[in-house]
Chains A and B, each alone.
Chain A
Amino acid sequence: MPELRKDPVLGRWIIISKERRKRPTDFLIEKPKTGGGFCPLCPGNENTTPPEVLAFRTGVDQIKDGPGWQVRVVPNKYPALIIEGELDKEGEGLYDRMNGIGAHEVVIESPNHEQSFASLPPEKMLLVLRAFRERITDLGRDPRFKYAMIFKNHGKAAGASLEHSHSQLIALPILPRMIVSELAGALSYFRYKERCIFCDIIRQEIQLDTRVVCQNDHFITVTPFAPRTPFEMWILPKKHSSAFCKEDDYKLYSLAELFSETLRRLDICIPDVPYNFVLHTEPLQSNGMEHYHWHFEIVPKLTSIAGFEWGSGFYINPMPPEEAATYLRQSLEKK
């Protein structure tokens, strides 16, 4: 029998369609061919991007907007939102509008065109995570921005338009609806129980040990109780923290180790799977929240969103998260 499950933070329902049960091999996908050609993100082509806002370089090659970088952050050449100007909020009857002000940046995760984020060694992934932290911190000083969203599209089906590994940051003058709902759900739980819901989720998941994928001293990866897609995973700090930006390099290295392991496990289960990840963290200019807990959500692109999902907000998932966690746990051992 199918099962309805409710996400305890958002109150969002999903359907686990057990009769459509699948194994990881049922999700195997053919990697789409990429056109190749000139890559504007490769070293040597720095003049095709806007001037960098951050770069980590090693060795003697320290010239801004030159090669020699390990991670490079540049504003989007054709941004969805523009950084200059004022919001000029206005009402039009019952409708609200404002200027499309925001920051839209691209984090180039490696100088190597072929290297995927998942295959970055922890010391290199640490640089990417540091870039996320430093850019969010910097944009947080701009009072026009309320939220900085970090996300990655990996693979064409997940929205990646260029094969060179990169992630994106968009700083927004408003809080995204998803974050508003998450904050509200977490606050409601906190008011009732005086505990962070995510801390409780971690405690319960460790106790049950049916949805834990992997963990280290500081972080844990779980398949959530009500996942939207097969193999959806969350990476959370074990110790309460609402702000990703407050994590020091030591913790970020530990995160890089677990992030790398998590994606390796996923790649063993379903090679070359397209996925998105999104960082969920507290709004800018917050000073720590007792009720909120930053985390990464990794959502493989294995199911399609059609009329039912659009109309209901429900997701239909053919893979129970307990089974997904078992496959993911066994993956490295099998390898």
Chain B
Amino acid sequence: MKKILLVDDEESIQLLYHEEFEDDGYSVVSAFNGEEALEKFKADQPDLVILDIQMPGMNGIEVLRQMKMMNADIPVILSSAYHEYKQDLGAWASDEYVVKSADIDELKKAVRKFIG
């Protein structure tokens, strides 16, 4: 079973994505901030990361750049409610940038693209 590390500080997003991706046959590990995400990235060896950007403490782009230093082969999808971070060239380290919406089909499609 492919493992997704889901990094988001919002409880409601965690609940929704957990349910959706587990229903689709993935196992999901949660992290609620950047520091926790980096620890779990090391410890849990996920197959893919879904990463929020605006979080307390380290933001998602800082976390992304640290993750890619550790292992550039694990795909990371930035998932943000904001388009603006697309102007941050640090976001180029990501494999996909998906703007959050009520319909998570685009995110699911991106996940399938990388880990089937």
Contact = CB atoms under 8 A, between A and B. Distances in A.
Nearest to A160: B89
Contact of B92 (A35, A36, A37, A77): A77
B92 A78 contact: yes
A48 B62 contact: no
A161 interface: yes
A162 B66 CA distance: 14
Interface string A37-77: 11111000100110000000000000000000000000001
A40 B92 contact: yes
B89 A48 contact: no
Looking at chain B, what size class is its interface with the partner chain?
10 to 19
Given A37-B65, A37-B66, A78-B97, A162 B87 contact: no
A78 B93 contact: no
A106 interface: yes
A40 B72 contact: no
Chain B binding site: helix, strand, loop or mixed by DSSP? helix
Interface in B57-77: 58, 61-62, 64-69, 72
Most buried by B among A38, A161, A164: A38
Nearest to A159: B87
A36 B65 contact: yes
A166 interface: yes
B113 to A, nearest CB: 16
A38 B87 contact: no
Contacts of A161: 87-90
19 contacts: A35-B62, A36-B65, A37-B64, A37-B66, A37-B68, A38-B64, A38-B65, A38-B66, A38-B67, A41-B89, A45-B72, A48-B72, A48-B93, A77-B91, A78-B91, A80-B86, A80-B87, A161-B90, A164-B89
Interface of B: 58, 61-62, 64-69, 72, 86-93, 97
Interface of A: 35-41, 45, 48-49, 77-78, 80, 106, 161-162, 164, 166
Give 3 nearest A-B pairs by CB, closest first: A37-B65, A38-B68, A78-B86
